[in-house]
Chains A and B, each alone.
Chain A
Amino acid sequence: MRNAIRTVALALFLVLAGRADGNAQAQPWWWGFTYQTSLTTGEMKDFVDDFSWRNVGVEGRSKIGPNATLGVFFGWNVFSDEVDGTISFDGLDVSGYQSRWVNAFPMLVTGHYYLGERGGPRTYIGLGAGTYWIRNRLALGQTAVTIDHWHFGLAPEVGVLIPTQAYSDTYVSVKYNYAVKSGDMQRSYWTFGIGFATPY
């Protein structure tokens, strides 16, 4: 946890320090909040096969040019599944009603590039890099096992920023979250977000 806090703090410092260009007028930050749905893929889908409605994200982006931003993203994705069957290992088979959950917390430094003109809808592409703290929990019978891991992760993203009101924008995004294998666990999932933001 300490390493993650240091990473995030360093990222924030770099982003903010990069904005201290001596100009008396501070460069604006763009703040957004998204509600997301998400879908598990790959090895994660073998553990939890879920399309989740329980996801949120908060992010800030700072302009580093007319068409680019650098920022940070924090999210919380919750997945659950219930399985009634047999799981097998080498020499061991276990049957029973299983409840499975994954709670994923992405903490990313992000960069985005925007197409189009200010004042109108703008498509953007971006990439996030950072850490995911992921809690995996399995309950079987009267026993539950919880395994937590930190993962390095990448999150490419595409979206559209739509100015909707004088003081806010709406944006939609599709992001692929890839958390590199850690502790013999690899996790990946899609998120589909709709959000509200301060105007860009």
Chain B
Amino acid sequence: MRIKGVAGLRGSVRGLGVLAGLGILLAGAACYPGDGPSNVQDLDVVLTLYDTDVDFSSFRTFAMPDSVVHIGSEQSEDLIDLPRTYDDLILELAAENMASAGFIREPDPEAAGADLILLVGALGSSKEYWVYQDWWYYWGWYPGWGYPGYPGYGPGWGWYYPPYVGTVKFESGSIVLTLVDPNLADGEDIPVVWTGVSRGLLEGGGAQGRISYAINQMFTQSPYLGR
């Protein structure tokens, strides 16, 4: 037979309270656990959109310009200008992937026409964020020896940690490939049948590899383009 005294019950309830508090602290540190992205490439995204009513097997030829259209600060103050260092690589990869999908590049589209036109563009953006950490991130001010270096003056206000205020800036670049059907043009409106977009931070190295992977992935995740 167990004898339960008031003191014992108080102890068990107190113990439960401590356990509950510890548990809540532990769980409180775990809302979004995990390491998250470990390098810049982990933040690269490839997105493709297509018109589900289009039969891509009906297209055979395509045309594409010999330059990348850069959209930058001239078009919008929210955009930044990207260097043209990788333009040739982008055009080469786009053409290669279209060929691998079974399309034939029309060398003289103005004379012979083409089933599709592939437009290639690039744009960059810059976002800035304010970061603010208030004084309670630190111990605030604490009693010390008065002014540092003058011990013996008794407790004083010691050091005060001012709040940290700073900015963080992210620059991102996007490559946009667009397939349009010029034979369905209605005035200046030309229907878009497929779009591939890749976006990543303009940080870190390996840009050539990241661009190659992104453009190849656009076509890898678009098997319906294949003939």
Contact = CB atoms under 8 A, between A and B. Distances in A.
Nearest to B23: A56
Contact of B43 (A33, A76, A97): A97
A21 interface: no
A95 B16 contact: no
Contact of B49 (A91, A96, A139): A91
Contacts, number: 112
Interface string B51-62: 110000000000
Contacts of A86: 221
B33 interface: yes
Nearest to B3: A166
Contacts of B47: 92-95
A105 to B, nearest CB: 10
Interface in A148-200: 163, 166-168, 196-199
B221 A95 contact: yes
A167 B32 contact: no
Interface string A134-156: 00010111110000000000000
Interface in A74-89: 76, 78, 80, 82, 86
A55 B27 contact: yes
A58 B44 CA distance: 41
A19 B217 CA distance: 65
Interface in B64-97: none
Residue of B1, B2, B52, B217 with most partner-chain A CB within 10 A: B2
A90 interface: yes
Interface residues of A, number: 39
Interface string B166-206: 00001010000000000000000000000000011100000
Nearest to A101: B32
A161 to B, nearest CB: 14
A54 B43 contact: no
A49 B150 CA distance: 60
B48 A92 contact: yes
A32 B31 CA distance: 23
A196 B34 contact: no
B222 A93 contact: yes
Interface bin, chain B = 35 or more
B45 A95 contact: yes
- Chain A binding surface, main DSSP class: strand
A7 interface: no
A178 to B, nearest CB: 22
Contacts of B36: 99, 139
B16 A33 contact: yes
A32 B15 CA distance: 11
Contacts of B34: 80, 82, 99, 101
Contact of A142 (B20, B30, B33, B43): B43
Contacts of A166: 2-4, 8
B45 A78 contact: no
B9 A167 contact: yes
B51 A91 contact: yes
Contact of B27 (A54, A95, A167, A198): A54
A123 interface: no
Contacts of B99: none
Given A96-B46, A119-B1, A141-B44, A78 B8 contact: no
Contacts of B43: 96-97, 141-142
Given A97-B43, A141-B199, A196-B19, A167 B30 contact: no
A140 B3 CA distance: 58
Nearest to B43: A141
B33 A54 contact: yes
Contacts of A37: none
